[in-house]
């Protein structure tokens, strides 16, 4: 190939790189959102476990019999744990919505990258076809020069 031929260059390469960056950023955000959701889920599980434990203790105290003040304090503590559980459930719902939102964003960004990669592949196939035709034309020209009788050839 002669000097006029150039290596393949995708005209939207910068846009492709930028969209890959955005996709990778969305992956990172998803990992962070999943981590936050997991943390809230774990906190909620721990709190529910503690609630179950305290309900069992309350049942034991009621069977044994105890003073009213102690019983009221125990019930108040359980009530506070229930409030915390309600707050954590709301946080979990919020975290799940965030995960769903980031997943949608990631899907869009992956689609954007895939579309550009498809364009790049199509352009590369066209580039290869152009090179193949150019080489074939040169070979045809050489064949014509060889087969054509001329002053210099015979």
Choose the most confident range, by mean pLDDT, from 4-8, 77-81, 106-110. Answer: 106-110
Specify the pTM.
Answer: 0.73
Domain count, the chain: 1
Q: What is the pLDDT of residues 70-84, one digit of tens each?
A: 888 888 999 999 999
Q: List the CATH number of the domain containing 108.
A: 1.10.287.1700
Contact 68, 130 (CB under 8 A): no
Both tokens of residue 32? 């962070």
1 falls within a domain: no
Task: Identify the CA nearest to 105 among candidates 44, 14, 33.
Answer: 33
Q: Is residue 54 in some structural domain?
A: yes
Domain extent for 95: 13-147
38 inside domain: yes
Mean pLDDT of 13-38: 98
The 10s digit of each residue's pLDDT in 39-90 is 999 999 999 999 999 988 888 888 887 788 888 888 899 999 999 999 999 9
């Amino acid at each position: 190939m002669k000097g006029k031929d150039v290596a393949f260059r995708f005209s939207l390469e910068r846009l492709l790189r930028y969209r890959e960056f955005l996709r990778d950023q969305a992956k990172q955000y998803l990992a962070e959102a999943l981590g936050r959701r997991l943390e809230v889920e774990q906190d909620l599980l721990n709190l529910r476990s503690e609630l179950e434990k305290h309900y069992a203790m309350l049942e034991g105290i009621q069977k044994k019999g105890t003073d009213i003040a102690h019983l009221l304090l125990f019930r108040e503590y359980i009530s506070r744990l229930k409030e915390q559980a309600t707050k954590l459930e709301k946080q979990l719902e919020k975290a799940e919505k965030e995960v769903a939102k980031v997943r949608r964003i990631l899907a869009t960004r992956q689609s954007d990258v895939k579309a550009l990669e498809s364009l790049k592949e199509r352009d590369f196939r066209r580039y290869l076809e152009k090179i193949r035709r150019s080489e074939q034309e040169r070979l045809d020209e050489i064949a014509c020069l060889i087969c054509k009788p001329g002053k210099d050839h015979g």
